A and B are shown apart, each in its own frame.
Chain A
Amino acid sequence: AQSVSQHNHHVILSEAASLELGCNYSYGGTVNLFWYVQYPGQHLQLLLKYFSGDPLVKGIKGFEAEFIKSKFSFNLRKPSVQWSDTAEYFCAVNFYNQGGKLIFGQGTELSVKP
């Protein structure tokens, strides 16, 4: 079955530390990849997406992600986190022939200490 896994359940960082959140998916075919963020008490917002082309994609708020096809991975990075980045982060994958359905990872809760 198609699945998406996120390596870390909860990450705690100090401000200015670098961030990398792992995401792997199960399927080797064509995929569209997404990272969403959910701030406390809010809805999910799109951070960035990858469809094709340059495997390094830049999103909002200084986030970027790299697609490594050979590793079925789409890791999220940010060079220097801020307290306001405290949120839950979800990796999501649209698998070929699945219409618009997104399969989400379990989420990673990021806590940034001021």
Chain B
Amino acid sequence: DSGVTQTPKHLITATGQRVTLRCSPRSGDLSVYWYQQSLDQGLQFLIQYYNGEERAKGNILERFSAQQFPDLHSELNLSSLELGDSALYFCASSMTEGHGYTFGSGTRLTVV
């Protein structure tokens, strides 16, 4: 157990639907990062939050959004889902920036 908790572990949904992925960071970590891992694109950085504020944005589609709440947990919202959104979505957290982070176990999203 890395200390970063992601739920759910698996999610199967239909095209056009909306889902929410949840992440609880390791105790004491203020930053949360979201990554998408797919076979063709590898690990792609989506977005970073630091203490509730958006800190950095990567290749995140407009159909996707995220937020970090006062208790520091984060949610990634994926809407108007397409088959190509099927992937593993990882959350990671860190106390300081630039020094690497701890990953959660991921949520495997399958869009059918």
Shortest Cβ distance from residue B109 to the other chain A in the assembled complex, whole angstroms = 15
In the complex, B42 has a CB within 8 A of chain A: yes
Knowing A44-B103, A46-B100, say if A100 contacts B43 (CB, 8 Å).
no
Knowing A43-B2, A43-B90, A90-B43, say if A100 contacts B106 (CB, 8 Å).
no
**Within the complex, which residue of A43, A92, A100, A104 is in contact with B94, where a contact is CB–CB below 8 Å?**
A100
Total interface residues on B, CB under 8 Å, equals 26
Measured between beta carbons, the chain A residues less than 8 angstroms from B105 are 42-43
Measured between beta carbons, the chain B residues less than 8 angstroms from A32 are 98-100
Chain B residues with CB under 8 Å of chain A are 2, 31, 33, 35, 42-43, 45, 48, 50, 55-56, 58, 90, 92, 94, 96-106
Chain A residues with CB under 8 Å of chain B are 32, 34, 36, 42-46, 49, 51, 90, 92, 94, 98-107
